[in-house]
Chains A and B, each alone.
Chain A
Amino acid sequence: MDSPAANAAFAKQINIKFPLLSDMNKKMLREYGILKGYDVQNETYQWAQRANIVIDKNGVIQHIEEGDSAVDPNTAMSVCTDLHKKQSSK
């Protein structure tokens, strides 16, 4: 897992304006069911699969994408936009 220092370098490299988080002990990934194990030549390795998750202001999950479909973040961003519009119209 990337350290905060490695993430800082990456954030600077691609000019990211939002927090890049490190799950060094993989606790969050386990709790979210995102950490997967893979057998490679008689050894098991664990790392996260790609995922996009949208969580509303109340902490409720509104959208989940995993695997290949999570490579493109546009769907999740659309969900965020729609969510915000819905909340603003109330």
Chain B
Amino acid sequence: MKRILASSLLLAMTPVVALRSAPALTQKPEVAKVSLKVGDVAPDFSLLSDQWKTVKLSDYRGKKNVMLAIYVLAFTGG
């Protein structure tokens, strides 16, 4: 069976404040300026990998499907 060709990219982020322990947490969704939807062209990005190499979304154009997994608290298992 063929392996899935999709490349998985993981954005690991550590929040400034631990979500679980934060009291009176109120989300302010207006900070997000763009809400993408299915069918939209994904904006290109250029980010540093864990190997200190620049990874661009456009590098995969015409070659592979891409799965982005955006994870906060990646280091904590949260």
Contact = CB atoms under 8 A, between A and B. Distances in A.
Q: Is chain B's binding surface mostly helix, strand, loop or mixed?
A: loop
B70 A80 contact: no
B68 A52 contact: yes
Given A18-B7, A80-B65, A1 B14 contact: yes
A73 B74 CA distance: 14
Interface string B7-19: 1111111111101
Interface residues of A, number: 62
17 contacts: A2-B14, A21-B55, A22-B49, A33-B35, A35-B32, A36-B27, A41-B23, A45-B16, A46-B31, A47-B16, A53-B42, A54-B66, A55-B66, A61-B41, A63-B38, A70-B70, A84-B65
Interface of A: 1-2, 4, 6-8, 10-11, 16, 18-24, 27-41, 44-64, 70, 73, 76-77, 80-81, 83-84, 87-88
Interface of B: 2, 4-17, 19, 22-45, 47-53, 55, 57-58, 60-72, 74-75
